[in-house]
Amino acid sequence: MNVREAESADYPALADLQGAVWPDHATTGDLLAHEDRELRDHPRRPHLWRVVAEEGGQVVGTAYAIQYPGMFHPGRYHVDVFVHPGAQGRGVGRALAGRLDGHLRERGARELLSGTREDCPRGLAFLDKQGFSEVMRFFDNVLALDEFNPAPWGDAARLPAPYRQVTLAGLLSEVGEEAAWQAYFDAVEEIREDVPCTGEATPLAFEHFRKRGEDPRFMPEGVYFALTPAGEVAAMTELYTDGVDPAKLHTGLTGARRAHRRRGLALALKLAALNFARGRGTTSIWTGNATTNAPMLALNTRLGFRPRPAWIEMRRGAVEDV
């Protein structure tokens, strides 16, 4: 077995490995490369490091350490170790974890976040031995669109006055690039503050936020807003493509700004997005929900989303609040 730092030529193998370990979250080499470029271009200059394990010239495992800009602290790293199912039990994970620990000691890491699914006892035992403990759980919530009936929702699908519905694509046409993206950014910046996460949210950078339009999975026509008469985004929901499965869509951020809550705005926009998805031949919509996010879990359950096995977020060490 050979453990070495990852190279750009490894992206296709890394994508194959992710698909083998987590089939529900398969990706492509091009998407992984795009995500890494976006991370390296971020103004916070977050750290990104990967190694791969090879056997017979084939990539059978990988480990990484990443500092995500949205929850940034110089001493906090998200880490993971993937081992191909066919190569498990041969010490690959231990070798990768050893390289990872050495790298993080050199970096002076103080808090590590990792995780696995609740139905993966090998992964849970591995993280436990590495000193990690549970801090939060998330669900993949999935809606099969052939089981969704929009008829009972009736008036709930219409925004109350004085709000009007518009997509990002429509808003770009109405007010232009700068104003549309600024309105989008302002809403995301506020709504995300109330989304449960394992660390404090750090401020977004507007110029980097605009780069999400370059993501091949991004759909301006799938981003729905409830707009006030003054042109402020009061609520929103996002749909983006899967990148691998053309019949699958994902929900991004959904919510209302604090001054506009409890008016049915998020529900109306979700229903509009579901109608859009049905019209394009989508068979399933996936979203992620923290188990502590009771309002969003309740809304998605009402719509017919059903949870998959929970993802258990785990932590080792801690950093002080920023």
Residue 265, both tokens: 């705005």
Q: Give residue 69's identity as a one-letter amino acid code.
A: P
Q: Where are the domains of the chain?
A: 2-109, 141-310
Global pTM reads 0.93
Q: Contact at 8 Å (CB) between 137 and 313?
A: yes
Instruction: Kindly report the CATH number that applies to the domain delimited by 141-310.
Output: 3.40.630.30
CATH classification code of 2-109: 3.40.630.30
Specify the pLDDT at position 137.
Answer: 96
Per-residue pLDDT, 320: 74
How far is it, in rounded angstroms, from Cα 267 to Cα 222? 15
In single-letter form, the type of residue at position 255 comes to: G
**Comparing 2-109 with 141-310, is the CATH topology the same?**
yes
Sign of CA dihedral 84, 85, 91, 94: positive
User: Can you tell me which residue has the tokens 């998805």?
Assistant: 277
- 77's enclosing H/E stretch is strand 76-83
Question: What sign for the dihedral angle of Cα 228, 232, 236, 241?
Answer: positive
Tell me the two tokens of residue 8: 């750009």
pLDDT at 199: 85
pLDDT of residue 322: 39
pLDDT at 321: 52
- Helix (H), strand (E) at residue 208: helix 206-209
Give the pLDDT of the chain (322 residues) as one tens digit per residue. 999 999 999 999 999 999 999 999 999 999 999 999 999 999 999 999 999 999 999 999 999 999 999 999 999 999 999 999 999 999 999 999 999 999 999 999 999 999 999 999 999 999 999 999 999 999 999 999 999 999 999 899 999 999 999 999 999 999 999 999 999 999 999 999 989 888 888 999 999 999 999 999 999 999 999 999 999 999 999 999 999 999 999 999 999 999 999 999 999 999 999 999 999 999 999 999 999 988 889 999 999 999 999 999 999 999 975 3
Q: Which of 246, 191, 180, 189 is nearest to 213 (CA)?
A: 180
